[in-house]
């Protein structure tokens, strides 16, 4: 039987710590699975998104802005 979050002590962690733990768990699962081939649907979606971005290059948000906003949200979560 899989231990519960309470039994593992996860619920004693802050929200920010649980988010970090969840990401670490997902990263470990992805590493264990290894690279997965793209499905035709995913390949088509990637092509569509690239074409959309190429057709309207000013519509995107720079990575630095996205990263700064994500880090600010994470800092606010850590303060709770």
pLDDT at 74: 87
In the predicted model, is pLDDT for residue 80 greater than 90? no
In whole angstroms, what is the distance from residue 78 CA to residue 20 CA? 11
DSSP designation for 14: -
Residue 79's nearest CA partner among 11, 9, 3, 14 is 14
Q: Please tell me the pTM assigned to this model.
A: 0.54
- Give percent above pLDDT 70 in the chain: 99
Summary count for the chain: helices (H), strands (E): 4, 0
Collapsed DSSP state (helix, strand, coil) of residue 59: helix
Quick: pLDDT tens for 25-57.
999 999 999 999 999 999 999 999 999 999 998
């Amino acid at each position: 039987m899989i231990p519960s979050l309470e039994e593992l002590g996860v619920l004693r962690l802050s929200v920010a710590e649980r988010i970090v733990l969840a990401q670490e768990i997902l990263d470990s699962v992805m590493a264990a699975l290894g690279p997965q081939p793209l499905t035709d649907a995913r390949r088509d979606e990637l092509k569509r998104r690239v074409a959309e971005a190429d057709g309207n290059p000013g519509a995107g948000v720079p990575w630095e802005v996205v990263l700064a906003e994500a880090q600010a949200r994470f800092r606010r979560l850590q303060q709770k």
